[in-house]
């Protein structure tokens, strides 16, 4: 779902002077739009920045399941419930693709998860807002996923191969998310006055936090130079935010809804929708841990992690026991195993391989 | 919170009959049965596959990017291995 511009909030490690000739060769490859792969040499700052960005992106996908999960049992129809379940499964899958991409940079999955659970790593601030009504599920799909897509499409061309490939898969799957959200909003807006009011209320509450998803203004962002140079990031936070507003405002008007921004107006000269000032103190507060649901979200993640510990331990113990038994069997009956293999008819083996799929 | 680490697997899927398996990503699982199930859930939610391979990541030996020239440059200079290297008159037709 999300990629918030968290890079501007953390610290981008600067390029080290020791990189020298290798560093220049690396930059030439990046400039030539070549993809950097896990085994390639890369500056320590590049590795560190990417590890942080990809893992925080993964955490966002995982935590992002929580606000929507709140409505699975209360979805109004079976169709909506099936779609919501599928969407939340996708978010989980996206988190897992991204953790795998982060791991190619040399960190362990367990370390990344621990950073989330101890609060050391950040995740998108948007998921610290509550989902109070069913309309919030519509607003999340339409606005939060819409903002995420704006942010993620350029990441499909990120210089780091595993991240770019994960983003391609994610973007492909994500467009259904936004459409199902908009459909929920549309249905509510065509319903009773109370239903339309619910949709308006959801838009009122989600609009500003969605604009904050793109991260602080470029004027305040100290670290985007390196990520731009390394082609991790291709557009500035402000450019992406403007693109999102331009795409979204007409969609909202089609629904017959209004935006909670008295300064919002179309600038015919530039062709852009101009919007009012964003309350960055709210953004900082939520990111620092003091949003409406920060504690609840982390507590939920910690609880399921702890409750699942015995399952993970049992699976590993079982795998270990089976491997041990197998090794023991082979050691005790080497002749038998060999005879068994030889006795097998080659034609039979071939057909067996086919029926098992390979 | 020092938990035992679970093994990493590489996932390959055959998307259609007649095509080869292609690498799609990796995942963590305790054993081969769980790895196959996880691969099904993570990489084939939209009918992307008719068959899955999972391979322990540590079973893969990869070439070193630093050896790229050493390994692959010799083939680059042998353009006579390609059919277009040879002149055949147009009158002869398609060959």
pLDDT tens digits along A345-355? 444 444 444 44
pLDDT at residue A294 is higher than 90: yes
Residue B51 near residue A357 (C-beta atoms within 8 A): yes
d(CA A357, nearest CA chain B) in Å: 6
Query: What's the distance, Cα to Cα, between the start and end of chain A in Å?
Result: 35
Q: Is A343 a residue whose pLDDT tops 50?
A: no
Contact A61, A31 (CB under 8 A): no
Question: Residue A265 is encoded by which pair of tokens?
Answer: 């107006």
pLDDT recorded at residue B66: 84
pLDDT band of residue A222 (cuts 50, 70, 90) is low
pLDDT digit string, tens, across residues B25-52 = 999 999 999 999 999 999 999 989 999 9
What average pLDDT does chain A have?
89
Residues of chain A with Cβ-Cβ distance to B65 below 8 Å are 37, 39-41
User: Residue B3 and residue A322: Cβ atoms within 8 Å?
Assistant: no
Q: What is the pLDDT of residues A307-342, one digit of tens each?
A: 999 999 999 999 999 999 999 999 988 766 555 555
Nearest to A100 among B5, B14, B25 (CB): B25
Q: State the ipTM, two decimals.
A: 0.85
Q: Is pLDDT above 60 for A10? A: no
Q: Residue B59 is encoded by which pair of tokens? A: 């079973």
Q: Which residue of A has its CA nearest to B7?
A: A316
Cβ-based contacts of A166 with chain B (< 8 Å): 25
pLDDT above 50 for A356: no
CB pairs under 8 A between A and B: 64
The string of pLDDT tens digits covering residues A136-180 is: 999 999 999 999 999 999 999 999 999 999 999 999 998 899 999
CB contact under 8 Å between A117 and B1, yes or no, is yes
Going from the N-terminus, what domains does chain B have, and what CATH number goes with each? 8-84 (3.10.20.520)
pLDDT band per the 50, 70, 90 thresholds, residue A220 = confident
Best B7, B11, B28 residue to mutate vs chain A (most A CBs within 10 Å): B28
Residue pair A84/A124 in contact (Cβ under 8 Å)? The answer is: no
pTM: 0.87
In sequence order, what are the beta bridge partners of A200? none
Residue B69: its pLDDT value, please? 87
Task: Say if residues A233 and A154 touch (Cβ distance below 8 Å).
Answer: yes
Which pLDDT tens digit goes with each residue over A42-78?
A: 999 999 999 999 999 999 999 999 999 999 999 999 9
DSSP code of residue B53: E
Contacts of B1 in chain A (CB under 8 A): 114, 117-118
Distinct helix (H) and strand (E) counts, chain B: 2, 3
Q: What is the pLDDT of residue A165?
A: 95
Which run of H or of E encompasses B33? helix B32-43
Per-residue pLDDT at B58 exceeds 90: yes
When pLDDT is cut at 50, 70 and 90, the band that residue A19 belongs to is confident
Q: What is the pLDDT of residues A96-139, one digit of tens each?
A: 999 999 999 999 999 999 999 999 999 999 999 999 999 999 99
Nearest to residue A214, comparing CAs of A102, A124, A99?
A124
């Amino acid at each position: 779902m999300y990629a918030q511009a968290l890079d501007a909030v953390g610290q981008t490690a600067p390029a080290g002077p020791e990189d020298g000739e290798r560093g220049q060769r690396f930059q030439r490859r990046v400039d030539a739009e070549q993809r950097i792969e896990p085994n390639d040499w890369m500056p320590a700052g590049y590795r560190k920045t990417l590890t942080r960005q990809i893992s925080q992106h993964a955490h966002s996908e995982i935590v992002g399941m929580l606000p929507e999960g709140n409505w699975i049992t209360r979805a109004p129809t079976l169709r909506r419930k099936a779609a919501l379940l599928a969407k939340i499964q996708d978010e989980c899958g996206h988190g897992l693709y991204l953790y795998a991409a982060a791991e190619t940079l040399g960190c362990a999955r367990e370390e990344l998860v621990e950073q989330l659970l101890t609060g050391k790593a950040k995740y998108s601030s948007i998921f610290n807002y509550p989902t109070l009504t069913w309309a919030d599920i519509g607003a999340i799909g339409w606005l939060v996923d819409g903002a995420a897509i704006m942010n993620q499409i350029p990441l499909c061309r990120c210089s780091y191969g595993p991240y770019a490939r994960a983003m391609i898969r994610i973007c492909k799957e994500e467009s259904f998310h936004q459409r199902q959200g908009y459909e929920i909003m549309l249905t509510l807006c065509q319903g009773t006055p109370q239903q339309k009011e619910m949709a308006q209320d959801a838009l009122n509450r989600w609009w500003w936090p969605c604009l904050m998803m793109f991260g602080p203004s470029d004027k305040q962002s100290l670290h985007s130079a390196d990520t731009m140079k390394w082609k991790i990031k291709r557009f500035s936070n402000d450019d992406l935010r403007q693109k999102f507003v331009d795409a979204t405002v007409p969609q909202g008007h089609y629904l017959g809804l209004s935006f909670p921004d008295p300064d919002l107006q179309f600038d015919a000269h530039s062709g852009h929708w101009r919007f009012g000032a964003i309350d960055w103190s709210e953004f900082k507060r939520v990111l620092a841990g003091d949003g409406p649901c920060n504690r609840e979200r982390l507590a939920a993640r910690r609880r399921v992690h702890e409750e699942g510990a015995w399952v993970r331990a049992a699976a590993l113990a079982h795998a270990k026991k089976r491997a041990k038994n197998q090794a023991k069997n082979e050691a005790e009956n080497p002749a038998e195993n060999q005879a068994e293999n030889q006795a097998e008819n080659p034609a039979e083996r071939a057909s067996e391989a086919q029926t098992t799929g390979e | 919170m020092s938990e035992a680490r679970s093994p990493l697997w590489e996932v390959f899927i055959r998307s259609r009959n007649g095509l080869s398996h292609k690498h799609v990503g990796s995942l963590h699982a305790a054993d081969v049965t769980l790895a196959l199930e996880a691969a099904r859930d993570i990489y084939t939610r939209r009918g992307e596959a008719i068959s899955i391979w999972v391979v322990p990541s540590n079973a893969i030996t990869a070439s070193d990017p630093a050896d790229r020239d050493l390994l692959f440059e010799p083939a680059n200079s042998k353009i006579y291995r390609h059919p277009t290297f040879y002149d055949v008159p147009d009158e002869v037709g398609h060959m």
